[in-house]
Structure formats: C-alpha cells, structure tokens
C-alpha cells in the first residue's frame, strides 16, 4: 500500500524567511505532484516531477525529487504573505491514469 | 479552453433527496475523476473514468453513482446520502498518453447533507 507523508503539517513563517516542506512516499512511483489549495478553493497544480534529480522552480517555490530516497522537497525562498495556503504532495499509483495518493498537506501561514 | 467546470457550486440536500453533480471539460482529456475532500483533509479518490468507462471504484457506497455520458462530461448521482457525506466534491481530468498525466481540478461542489 502506497503511503505519502508530509512534514511539517503546520508551518508558521515570517516574511522573508526560507523553509522546506518534505514529502516521503513508501513505494516506487514515477510521478510526483505538488498542489496548492487556498481555503475553500480547489487545487492548483504547481509542479510535476518525473525523474530522479528533477528540479523545478516557479517564483519563490522550488521543488525537487530524489526517487532513490523516495523524497521530494518544496523549498520556499523569502516567503511572502501571498504564499499562505495548504500545500499537498501527491504520488501516482496503479498505472497510466495518474491515480493519486495525497499527503495530509502542509498548512503554511506567512506572517508579516 | 483549459478549465474544468463544476455545477452547482453549493448544494444542500436532505437524506431522502436525489441530486446530481455535473463536471465538464473541453481539453480533450480522456480520463476523468471524482474526489471527496472533507474539511482539513486531503482529497480522496472515489472514481476514475478512462475513455468513458469506469476503471476504478475505490469502494464507494452505492448511494454515489457515477456516469460518464461522453468524453467531456462526468456526473455524480446522489441518493439517500448521510450527513457524513457532507464534503467538497472535486472533479478532475487528465490527458492520456502524456508523460505527466497531470490532473486539472475543477472548483468543486460544496455539498451539505441535512
């Protein structure tokens, strides 16, 4: 059974600081996704990571994947209030449809 | 058109009612999904349709009945729901035959069962 663990589950940051969210998964998978969700809203796709060593960056967010360690990280650089949201990692299982198992999510709060 | 639409946005229904949720996409995606998300929890997969055929049913109670009438449309028929079924219901679609199989989510239907 595929398990996906995120930590921390809650993160309170000050603006301008850096931090990393971790996502561990229990069995081999070839695709890892990061999503953002604002309160009461749907999920917004941030990154799709396909291969070992993959690194993607968008603005103040950078995601990486280590398939050997079964670990992905989401690094936040110089946080701003607009980044406050819940961040989910998700790992595919079961073949080509991209069926996803989600981590529990990290609720990020960036304070001035 | 790069979005998934869902109607209605909000739905309140009694335990004896029958209602339906609708999801539509015009991106040519041939895989469509229903997820259930309770407050402060991650989304949980309910059903997957691939090429208009049900490919995955994650042991969902029969009071939830999915339907995929064509490649652009996905319905979720609701009957005799329980209060614990109150949640945000998310629809998603993804391309088949791509490298990423990235799922695009709709805005969701917030369902309250009274």
- The pLDDT tens digits for A1-47 are 789 999 999 999 999 999 999 999 998 887 899 999 999 899 999 99
DSSP assignment letter at A105: -
Q: Which residues in A lie closer than 8 A to residue B102 (C-beta atoms)?
A: 33, 45, 48, 98
CB contact under 8 A, B94 and A88: no
DSSP assignment string, B84-101: GG-EEEEEEEE-SSSSS-
By Cβ distance, the residue of A42, A50, A102 closest to B99 is: A50
Backbone angles phi, psi at B57, to 5 degrees: -130, 110
List, as ranges, residues 43-82 from A with C-beta within 8 Å of B. Answer: 43-45, 48, 50
Q: Within 13 Å, how many C-alpha atoms sit on residue B10's CB side?
A: 2
The neighbouring-strand residues paired with B22 are B7, B75
What percent of chain B is modeled with pLDDT above 90? 84
Q: Which two tokens stand for residue B83?
A: 């209060």
The tens-digit pLDDT sequence of chain B (114 residues) is 669 999 999 999 999 999 999 999 999 999 999 999 999 999 999 999 999 999 888 889 999 999 999 999 999 999 999 999 999 999 999 988 767 778 999 999 999 999
Across the interface, of B42, B55, B108, the residue whose CB is closest to A97 is B55
């Amino acid at each position: 059974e595929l398990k996906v663990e995120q930590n921390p589950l809650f993160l309170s940051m000050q603006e301008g600081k850096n931090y990393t969210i971790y996502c561990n998964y229990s069995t081999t998978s070839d695709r890892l996704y990061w999503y953002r969700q604002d309160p009461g809203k749907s999920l917004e796709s941030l990154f799709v990571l396909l291969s070992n060593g993959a690194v993607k960056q968008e603005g103040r967010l950078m995601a990486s994947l280590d398939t050997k360690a079964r670990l992905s990280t989401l690094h936040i650089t110089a946080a701003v209030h607009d980044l406050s949201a819940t961040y989910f990692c998700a790992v595919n299982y079961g073949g080509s449809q991209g069926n996803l198992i989600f981590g529990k999510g990290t609720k990020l709060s960036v304070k001035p | 058109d790069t979005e998934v639409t869902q109607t209605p946005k909000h739905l309140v229904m009694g335990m004896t009612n029958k209602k339906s949720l609708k999801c539509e996409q015009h991106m040519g995606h041939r895989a469509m999904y229903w997820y259930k998300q309770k407050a402060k929890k991650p989304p949980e997969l309910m059903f997957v349709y691939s090429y208009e055929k049900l490919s995955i049913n994650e042991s969902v109670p029969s009071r939830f009945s999915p339907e995929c009438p064509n490649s652009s449309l996905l319905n979720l028929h609701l009957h005799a729901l329980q209060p614990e079924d109150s949640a945000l219901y998310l629809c998603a679609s993804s391309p088949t035959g791509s490298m990423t199989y990235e799922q695009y989510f709709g805005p969701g239907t917030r369902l309250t069962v009274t």
